Amino acid sequence: KNEVEQSPQNLTAQEGEFITINCSYSVGISALHWLQQHPGGGIVSLFMLSSGKKKHGRLIATINIQEKHSSLHITASHPRDSAVYICAVMNRDDKIIFGKGTRLHILP
Amino acid sequence: DAGITQSPRHKVTETGTPVTLRCHQTENHRYMYWYRQDPGHGLRLIHYSYGVKDTDKGEVSDGYSVSRSKTEDFLLTLESATSSQTSVYFCAISELSSGNTIYFGEGSWLTVV
């Protein structure tokens, strides 16, 4: 079993829809990251969380430490949000463990 | 943007030849990582470093070696490249004092023929 599991693996939605991507992990962590990777492109960090909730524009990330679960929400989704979203955790040994990513496709 | 660059960005090499990928940072971050990204596997850790001359293996370290003689440079070497090492390689940096934010290089596309 992977230490970081994301769901769904693939998601197609219409422009304007509210999007939720989930991440569950099974190890002790010091931080959780949400990353975005556009096709053929680099990887950028969207959020780093150790507790609670963060918001940046239309993106919201939450984490529940007790349940070892995090969610990434996108409000009023847009075709430019189409990308792979990756959940990553930093464990107690300072190693970063990645989920396999969620491929999001927003249709105009 | 964080100052992190990878070189080369694209390389085609023959099986059995040595290959070195370089990751250079200008952020003075302590932690540096090398990952490979393959379809169906996501990002997998090859090796990482927590300081000059301090390195450790990741989950897919076989066939790879690393060196970090300076804070700013982390080298990944394939001693004898194989076709299974065809992949996209990403370098990343992180620092506790920056809140553990992770910064990635733009990737190095390696094809072993």
Cα–Cα distance measured from residue B8 to residue B104, given in angstroms and rounded to the nearest whole number: 15
Q: Where does the pLDDT of residue B42 fall: very low under 50, low under 70, confident under 90, or very high at 90 and above? A: confident
By C-alpha distance, the chain B residue nearest A101 is B42
Given a contact cutoff of 8 angstroms between Cβ atoms, the answer to whether B98 and B108 are in contact is no
Across chain A, mean pLDDT equals 93
Structure tokens at B28: 């003075």
**Partners of residue A48 in chain B, C-beta under 8 Å:** 99-102
- What percentage of chain A carries pLDDT values higher than 70? 99
Those residues whose C-beta lies under 8 Å from the C-beta of residue B68, and which sit 6 or more positions away, are B32, B49, B51, B52, B53, B54, B55, B74, B75
Region of poorest pLDDT, from A56-65, B17-26, B31-40: B31-40
Question: Which is higher by pLDDT, B74 or A41?
Answer: B74
Given B45, B100, B104, which is nearest A43 (Cβ)?
A: B104
The tokens of B30 are what? 């302590």
pLDDT at residue B22, rounded to an integer: 98
CA A87 to chain CA centroid, Å, is 4
Average pLDDT for B2-27: 95
One-letter identity of residue B106: E
Place of tokens 């990204």: B37
Burial of A93 (0-12, 13-18, 19+ CB in 10 A): exposed
Query: Is some CB atom of chain B closer than 8 A to the CB atom of A19?
Result: no
Alpha carbons B34 and B26: distance in angstroms, whole number: 17
Q: State the DSSP string of B73-87.
A: EEEEEESS--GGG-E
State pLDDT tens for residues A28-67.
888 899 999 988 778 998 999 989 999 999 999 999 999 9
Distance CA B47, CA B59 (A): 8
B95-110 pLDDT, tens per residue? 765 556 788 999 999 9
CA-wise closest residue to A94 among B104, B60, B30, B21 = B30
Dihedral sign computed on CA atoms, order B102, B67, B8, A98: negative
pLDDT at B96: 67
Q: Which residue has the tokens 């909730």?
A: A53
CB distance from A1 to chain B under 8 Å? Answer: no
Helix or strand or coil: residue A37?
strand
CA B6 from chain centre, in angstroms, equals 8
What pLDDT does B99 receive? 59
Tokens of B27: 């952020």
Q: What is the mean pLDDT of chain B?
A: 92
B102–A48 C-beta distance less than 8 A: yes
What integer pLDDT is reported at residue B1 of this predicted model? 60
